[in-house]
Amino acid sequence: MKCLVIVLVCAVLAEGIHRIPLVKHKSIRERMMEKGERLPYQDPALKYFPSEFAGSATMYINNYADTTYYGAITIGTPPQSFQVLFDTGSANLWVDSVLCNTQACSEQPHKVQPQQSSTYSANGQTFYLPYGAGSLSGVFGYDTVNVGGIVINNQEIGLSTNEPGQNFVVAQFDGILGLSYPSISAGQETPVMDNMMSQNLLQANIFAFYLTSDGQQGSELSFGGVDNTKYQGQIYWTPVTSQTYWQIGIQGFQINGQETGWCGQGCQAIVDTGTSMLTAPTQIMGTLMQSIGAQQDQYGQYTVNCNQINSLPTLTFTINGNNQVCSVGITPTYLPSQNGQPLWILGDVFLMQYYSVYDRTGNQVGFATAA
């Protein structure tokens, strides 16, 4: 019966889907390496638990140095176009603006010009974004935002006023659009998805990602329903365990079909389109890397011989009783989840294998094998 319901939902909602094509670019880290510069490693989980900034209008964007999938939105009247990262690991919308005059801003071709929009109004609240070796500051305002043909009125927007450092100089995105729950929104600003829901702009309070592998076209984010042309078989659903990020439970982890016991007492995972890698709890990282024959280089990155890729072991997650398989591309995370269980981050390396669906009404995440 559950599978039948899913099939019916797909058929009914197909015509109500709003699609945003996503384009894969080189990451900040890759572009800085081309210039002979390296970013230091920082725990990707700091994005989720920046306790030192609790209570302030602060967003933590540490691990966007490796993200690569961006799509277009417009802001204002008449519309101004921007390439943004659609991020399930944060809640706020911010973009580069003409209010900023640092090098990163002056070299960005696309900057929001609030004075040119007849629908813009000021907010006055400021925000701060720690970012690895740099940071970003800005002010909040309100304007009309168009996401895949969905027109959202009076959407809160962060406008950058200061972008020091080199990170944003080489960035190929103009901003970030957060898709997590409003409970983690900096400044208690209302996220884009929540305004879509409150303004009754969607047939269903669902969005979904289809991410293609390197060199392939067709990556897409859709709002309003699921697209049954983007996956094979059925969608397997698992409940959200914390309505902050898109956090879910993991009941088991296997290497080449052998249960490791690492999640025998339960693990938590955050499904994060704003992280490129799969990250593993630090307490199992060494054993996991040893099992796949990886070596750590002078920069702390784990590598394997490219000739051995086809013989690497299969890694399997058990999520809500269903086995999910992912490719290898792993970095460590040192922080646990809120309840102390080991924390994994299921980033783009994982999500390229699956069509992932995010259901705000049912507070659940769905996975199906990508078509």
Span 123-140, pLDDT tens digits: 989 988 765 445 678 999
Q: Is 294 exposed, middle or buried (0-12, 13-18, 19+ CB in 10 A)?
A: buried
Token output for 307 = 């000739």
Contact 343, 337 (CB under 8 A): yes
Taking the CA of residue 37 as centre, how many other CA atoms within 13 Å lie in the half-sphere pointing to its CB?
Answer: 13
Is the pLDDT reported for residue 167 higher than 80? no
Angstrom distances, CA of residue 107 to CA of 101, 104, 139, 163: 10, 5, 20, 11
pLDDT digits (tens, 9 = 90+) for 82-120: 999 899 988 999 999 999 988 877 777 789 999 999 999
Q: Over the stretch 247-256, which tens digit does the pLDDT of each residue have? A: 999 999 999 9
Cβ count within 10 A of residue 47: 26
Tokens of 230: 């983007």
Instruction: Please give the model's pTM, rounded to 2 decimal places.
Output: 0.85
- Among 108, 50, 115, which residue's Cα sits nearest to residue 83? 108
Residues 6+ apart with CB under 8 A from 247: 240, 241, 268, 269, 270, 271, 337
For the cut 50, the answer to whether the pLDDT of residue 14 exceeds it is no
Is the Cβ–Cβ distance between 165 and 135 less than 8 Å? Answer: yes
At residue 262 the predicted structure's pLDDT band, cuts being 50, 70 and 90, is very high
* pLDDT > 90 fraction of the chain, expressed in percent and rounded: 48
What are the φ/ψ torsions at residue 228 (nearest 5 degrees)?
Answer: -75, 0
Catalytic residue ranges: 87, 272
Average pLDDT over residues 173-197: 92
The one-letter code for the residue type at 182 is: P
Strand, helix or coil at 305? coil
| DSSP letter for each residue of 173-187 | -SEEEE-S-GGG-GG
**3-state helix, strand and coil shares in percent for the chain, rounded to the nearest 5:** 20, 40, 40
What is residue 305's predicted lDDT score, i.e. its pLDDT?
79
pLDDT for the residue numbered 2: 31
Q: What is the pLDDT of residue 207?
A: 97
Q: Is 297 or 201 the better-scoring residue by pLDDT? A: 201
Tell me what pLDDT residue 55 has. 37
Residues 6 or more apart in contact with residue 173 via CB below 8 angstroms: 25, 67, 70, 83, 84, 85
For range 196-206, the mean pLDDT: 97
**What beta strand segments (E) does 240-285 contain?**
242-243, 246-250, 252-255, 258-259, 267-271, 278-281
pLDDT at position 54 over 60: no
**Sorting pLDDT into bands at 50, 70 and 90, what band is 76?**
very high
Cα 118 → chain centroid = 31
Highest mean pLDDT among 4-13, 17-26, 67-76, 116-125: 116-125
